[in-house]
Amino acid sequence: MQHLLAKPGSAITASLEGFALCYPDLLRVHFDPDYVTRAISPSQPKVALISGSGSGHEPLPTGYVGAGMLDAACPGPIFTSASPNQLLAAARDVGRQPGVLFIVKNYSGGVLNSSLAMEMAEEEGILAQSILVNDDVAIKNPLNRRGLGATILSMKIAGAAAEAGLSLEKVAAVGQRTVENARSMGIGMDVHTLSRAIHSGELPDDTIELGVGIHGEPGTNYRVSHGIEEIVDALMEPIVADLPFQAGDQVLALVSGLGGTPLLELFLFFRHIHGYLKKRGVVVQRQLVGNYLTSLGRGGCTVTLLRLDPELTALWDAPVHTPALRW
């Protein structure tokens, strides 16, 4: 598998420079430490949303900086959390009354570094809170669950609440409620597209990995005998059963490719997911299909269901203007 990369150590910086050139009207990219902010600050004081993530998951997190979502994003090294210094620099830049909300995926490095950044920010008089995203049902213990697609949904919904002028406590509460009502799981294919340092070997043609993580964490090898319906059943049953989702529920369905699956296949996959939910009386009220949370171009996807209510739906529908999401 060939990749277009600069020499080791320069790829992330060079990519950020290219990113800045693509969106000069939307973003400002800062270096040493690296972070991205809105090009134009909000006209009125509002809660500032910040998120950090390892590189390799693009467009997460930098592609979600803009009106209606993040005020700043901090890209770490490949599959490695942003540092406390990055997060603190971003908080200093965008931090204002009534405070800063950190959106944190439940990985040990991200949790630790965000906690340290919050402590340092508060020592400087920046009011800070955080929400923890832990929606991956492949992990049985909810305390240990990884953050997947609910990261994007909470960014959008909390971002809309912040844009509407809600207090830090209310923005954090609606963001956390989004996470609590979301469940996700992923499948992986084409293991050889990941770095050998992260994963080795290839899957047989009739086998997928069920319950993969987005950093190359392996799932369970699952041999497919009856096609895509069997894959959808194996993926959706743990998601639906965990909340649980019930007949009459209205949901937002997010299908995010891991970067190596064509849109044709993602739309085909969504068609079967929609049918699976319809049979069970679960209404797909909103949907999002594409590459929104990737893993260095691996084949496969993650699926996230969010149980909606009128407030969450209205906040999801609110205007957004970022490189990766806009309406």
Max Cα-Cα span within the chain:
59
Rounded Cα–Cα distance for residues 216 and 295 (Å): 8
- What residue spans of 58-103 are helical by DSSP H? 84-94
302 contacts: CB under 8 Å, gap ≥ 6: 148, 149, 184, 185, 186, 187, 214, 254, 255, 256, 258, 293
Rounded Cα–Cα distance for residues 232 and 245 (Å): 16
* Active site amino acids: 57, 215
From the number of C-beta atoms within 10 Å of its C-beta (0-12, 13-18, 19+), residue 294 rates as buried
224, amino acid identity: V
56 contacts: CB under 8 Å, gap ≥ 6: 78, 79, 294, 295, 296
Q: Provide DSSP, 230-256.
A: HHHHHHHHHHHHHTT--TT-EEEEEEE
CA distances from 273 to 16, 269, 280 (A): 35, 6, 11
Tokens of 176: 């956390």
Sheet holding 48-55, edge to edge: 27-30, 35-38, 72-78, 48-55, 100-105, 128-133
Taking alpha carbons only, the member of 229, 233, 209, 207 closest to residue 220 is: 209
CA distances from 48 to 78, 128, 181, 201, 213 (A): 25, 9, 23, 43, 29
**Dihedral pair phi/psi, residue 9, rounded to 5°:** 95, -20
